[in-house]
Amino acid sequence: MNANCQRCNKARATVHVTNVLAKGEIRDLHLCEDCAEKEGVIIKQNQQTTNAILQEFIKQKTATGRLDDLACPKCGTTFREFQAKGLLGCPSDYEAFRSILQPLLERAHGGGTHHVGKVPLAADLTVRRQTGLLRLRRELQEALEQENYERAARVRDQIRSLDVQ
């Protein structure tokens, strides 16, 4: 089919659309690519993805200039490098750039600021260990206050064994 576009009547129609109207009636539409895009027939691939939000945000932040010197003490990645690549250098960057990343994360994740999903089993252990340590230290304090040295020694050993794990 070599018909011209039904909208502009200039360019060759390369997009052919079959429309089902309300009463089940069908209408064909032949458009050139430009008009099809204007009509919203062709899906534009340039929708704003989270990556686009990220790039835009970093550009704005860096334009203010105050982030130039910011670097992660662990891996040395600077905020400028993050700007160029869109990728962080190591897990500690999240801590080093926390204050700047916070609003970006909120925007990229639709207002989300705190993780509410799965927690690794290993992290659970750490948390359990930390809570356990807190409890044992309180027990040790109590034992010492009561001058119960036998119990204090037992608790101290328990603390030591948790500490080295």
Footprint on this chain of other proteins (rule: CB under 8 A): 17-20, 24-26, 29, 39-41, 43, 45, 47, 49-51, 54, 75-77, 85-91, 93-94, 101, 104-105, 108-123
Question: 118 vs 150, which CB is nearer to other proteins?
Answer: 118
Residue 67 contacts residue 61 (beta carbons within 8 Å) = yes
In whole angstroms, the minimum distance from the beta carbon of 12 to other proteins comes to 18
Question: 106 vs 157, which CB is nearer to other proteins?
Answer: 106
In whole angstroms, the minimum distance from the beta carbon of 124 to other proteins comes to 10
Output b/e per residue, 60-98; b: 16+ Cβ within 10 A: ebbeeeebeebbbeeeebbbebbbeeeebbeeebeebbe
In whole angstroms, the minimum distance from the beta carbon of 164 to other proteins comes to 17
In whole angstroms, the minimum distance from the beta carbon of 95 to other proteins comes to 8
| 3 state DSSP class of 112 | coil
Give CA–CA dist 129/144, Å, rounded: 22
Question: Phi/psi of residue 23, each to 5°?
Answer: -85, 15
Question: 114 vs 164, which CB is nearer to other proteins?
Answer: 114
